[in-house]
Amino acid sequence: MRVIISAAGTGGHINPGIAIANKIKEECPSSEIVFIGTARGLENDLVPRSGYRLETIEAYGFKKEISIKNLKNIIKTFSSKKEVKKIFAEFKPDIVIGTGGYICVPVFSVAVKSDIPTMLHESNSYPGRAVNMFAKKVDRVLVGFNETKRCLKNSENVIVTGTPTKLKKINIDIAKKKKLLSDIGIKNDGLPIVLVFGGSQGAQKINESVYELIKRNLNKNYQIIWATGPKQFDIIKEKFEKENLSINNLKNVKILPYIYNMEEMMNISDLLICRSGAMTVTEISIVGKPAIFIPLPSKMANRQEDNARVLQKIGAAKIIQNEVINYENLSNEIDDIITKPIELKEMGDLAETLAPTNVLDKIYNEIDKIVKE
Per residue in 73-84, pLDDT (tens digit) is: 677 777 889 999
The pLDDT of residue 77: 75
> Which residue from 323, 283, 287, 329 is spatially nearest to 305, judged by alpha carbons?
323
Instruction: Answer yes or no: do 196 and 345 share one domain.
Output: yes
Q: Is residue 17 domain-resident?
A: yes
Residues 6+ apart with CB under 8 A from 111: 4, 88, 93, 96, 118
Query: The domain spanning residue 144 has which CATH number?
Result: 3.40.50.2000
Q: Is residue 49 domain-resident?
A: yes
The pLDDT of residue 201: 62
Instruction: Answer yes or no: do 259 and 211 share one domain.
Output: yes
Instruction: Answer yes or no: do 303 and 339 share one domain.
Output: yes
Instruction: Answer yes or no: do 127 and 204 share one domain.
Output: no
Q: Is residue 169 domain-resident?
A: no
For residues 315 and 325, what is the distance between their CA atoms, to the nearest angstrom?
Answer: 20
Q: Quickly list H helices, the chain.
A: 11-27, 43-49, 68-79, 81-91, 104-113, 129-134, 146-151, 174-184, 204-215, 230-242, 262-268, 278-287, 303-312, 327-338, 341-352, 359-372
The pLDDT of residue 100: 86
- If one counts every other C-beta atom within 10 angstroms of the C-beta of residue 231, the result is 12
CB 278 within 8 A of CB 332: no
Instruction: Answer yes or no: do 137 and 43 share one domain.
Output: yes
Instruction: Answer yes or no: do 147 and 181 share one domain.
Output: no
Instruction: Answer yes or no: do 263 and 114 share one domain.
Output: no
Give me the residues of the chain with pLDDT under 50, please. Answer: none
> Number of structural domains, the chain?
2
CB 266 within 8 A of CB 289: yes
The pLDDT of residue 16: 94
Instruction: Answer yes or no: do 187 and 57 share one domain.
Output: no
Instruction: Answer yes or no: do 94 and 140 share one domain.
Output: yes
Range of the domain at 302: 174-352
Instruction: Answer yes or no: do 140 and 95 share one domain.
Output: yes
The pLDDT of residue 327: 97
Q: Is residue 117 domain-resident?
A: yes
> What stretch of H or E contains 253?
strand 253-256
* Beta-strand relationship, 95-98 and 2-6: parallel
For residues 115 and 156, what is the distance between their CA atoms, to the nearest angstrom?
Answer: 19
Instruction: Answer yes or no: do 129 and 116 share one domain.
Output: yes
- Return the SS3 of 290: coil
Q: Is residue 22 domain-resident?
A: yes
Instruction: Answer yes or no: do 46 and 151 share one domain.
Output: yes
Note the Cα 287 to chain centre separation in Å.
15
The pLDDT of residue 200: 61
Q: Is residue 168 domain-resident?
A: no
Q: Which long-range contacts (CB under 8 A, 24 or more apart) does 174-177 make?
A: 177/268
The pLDDT of residue 18: 96
The total number of residues written for the chain in this structure: 373
Distances (CA, A) of 139 to 7, 133, 142, 297, 373: 18, 13, 10, 32, 10
* Beta-strand relationship, 140-143 and 118-122: parallel
Q: Is residue 68 domain-resident?
A: yes
Q: Is residue 75 domain-resident?
A: yes
pTM of the predicted protein model: 0.86
